[in-house]
């Protein structure tokens, strides 16, 4: 059952489009600020009607940003896939300014300058434990090809200490692979769907400095007892991250699929099969296969 009216004011004329929270749940937002909920928006689960209560001001701002996102295709991935599986969308400068002008006033002008260069802002949710703690913002060209030049100019609303986790309801994988950066995990998740493989589940830390305890705490809650493997970038920062997180995720390297700094750079026709080989070998050594 889907709820087509606000659970607070019981009207439907001010509902926004469906958006997805950091747990992969479909949500909607009522923008009828002058009604039974004067002065604030109401976010609710689209399937259950349960109201999503913000923990505090930053969390409320993050929910507003996710609700304001616009599905866009980035790096060759369809907009619907990015939004439904990862909660990844684009966001326009006007929405950033409207939601962040009081705390991060420079975000609006930053995004407007990039929009004039035809670079929309890609928004990636950040989760720590069971909580949405931040969103990462980065200008990316909209296009159909996976390999496009991107501007390495990041902004964050909220915290950076967390993971990007795709929709996981009902999934019970054999192994979780932790990537460095969102696009390796997104590429691997898309490959797994193409292969109809549910044994390998990909998540990402959004930078190499995320603490091992954050990875452990979050994944222990989502997939308790499931073996963890890390597939970090093949560069000095990635090597340092492997060492720092080796106690919570065993480092692996995919070979035989061409050169590349991360999973996304590898030969698309070979990389997932080679990853399966590596994962199965590691699970057998652990006695988990």
pLDDT digits (tens, 9 = 90+) for 28-47: 999 887 777 877 889 999 99
70-74 average pLDDT score: 95
Averaged pLDDT score across all residues of the chain: 92
Which pLDDT belongs to residue 144? 56
Residue 70 and residue 82: Cα distance in Å, rounded? 11
* Beta-bridge partners for 137: 123, 155
Q: Is the per-residue pLDDT at 135 higher than 80?
A: yes
Which pLDDT belongs to residue 213? 96
118-147 average pLDDT score: 86
58-70 average pLDDT score: 93
Q: Is the per-residue pLDDT at 4 higher than 80?
A: yes
Contacts with 183 (C-beta within 8 Å, 6 or more apart), sequence order: 75, 262, 264
Q: Are 31 and 68 in contact (CB under 8 A)?
A: no
145-171 average pLDDT score: 82
The domain limits of the chain are 1-53, 57-160, 164-286
Please write down the HEC assignment for all residues of the chain.
CCCCCCCCCCCCCCECCCEECCCCCEEEEECCCCCCCCCCCEEEECCCCCECCCCCHHHHHHHHHHHHCECCCECCECHHHHHHHHCCEEECHHHHHHHHCCCCCHHHHHHHHHHHCCCCEEEEEEEECCEEEEEEEEECCECCCCCCCCCCCCEEEECCCCEECCCCCCCCCCEEEEEECHHHHHHHHHHHHHCCCCCEEEEEECCCCCCHHHHHHHHHHHCCCCCEEEECCCCHHHHHHHHHHCCCCEECCCCCCCCCCCHHHCCHHHHHHHHHHHHHHHHHHHCCC
Q: Is the per-residue pLDDT at 107 higher than 60?
A: yes
Which pLDDT belongs to residue 149? 52
Q: Is the per-residue pLDDT at 112 higher than 60?
A: yes
Q: Are 164 and 185 in contact (CB under 8 A)?
A: yes
- Tell me which of 3.40.1360.10, 3.40.50.360, 3.40.50.300, 3.30.1310.10 is the CATH number of domain 164-286: 3.40.1360.10
> Tell me: the pLDDT tens digits for 9-35?
998 999 999 999 887 889 999 988 777
Q: Is the per-residue pLDDT at 1 higher than 90?
A: no
């Amino acid at each position: 059952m889907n709820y087509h009216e606000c659970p607070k004011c019981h009207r439907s004329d001010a509902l926004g489009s469906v958006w997805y929270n950091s747990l992969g749940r479909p949500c909607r937002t009522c923008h009828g600020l002058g009604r039974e909920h004067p002065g604030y928006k109401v976010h609710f689960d689209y399937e259950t009607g349960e109201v999503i209560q913000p923990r505090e001001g930053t969390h409320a701002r993050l929910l507003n940003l996710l609700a304001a996102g616009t599905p866009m295709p980035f790096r060759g991935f369809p907009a619907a896939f990015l939004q439904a599986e990862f909660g990844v969308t684009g966001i326009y400068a006007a929405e950033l300014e409207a939601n962040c002008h009081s705390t991060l006033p420079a975000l609006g002008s930053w995004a407007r300058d990039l929009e004039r260069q035809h670079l929309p802002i890609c928004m990636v949710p950040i989760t720590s434990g069971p909580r949405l703690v931040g969103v990462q913002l980065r200008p990316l060209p909209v296009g159909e090809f996976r390999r496009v030049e991107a501007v390495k100019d990041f902004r964050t609303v909220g915290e950076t200490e967390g993971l990007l986790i795709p929709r996981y309801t009902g999934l019970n994988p054999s192994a979780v692979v932790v990537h460095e950066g969102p696009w390796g995990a997104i590429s691997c998740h898309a490959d797994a769907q193409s292969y109809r493989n549910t044994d390998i589940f990909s998540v990402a830390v959004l930078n190499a400095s995320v603490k091992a305890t954050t990875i452990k705490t979050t994944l222990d809650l989502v997939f308790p007892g499931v073996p963890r493997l890390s597939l970090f970038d093949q560069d000095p920062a990635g090597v340092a991250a492997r060492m720092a997180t080796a106690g919570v995720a065993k480092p692996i390297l995919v070979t035989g699929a061409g050169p590349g700094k991360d999973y996304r750079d590898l030969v698309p026709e070979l990389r997932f099969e080679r990853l399966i080989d590596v994962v199965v070998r590691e699970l057998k050594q652990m006695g988990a296969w």
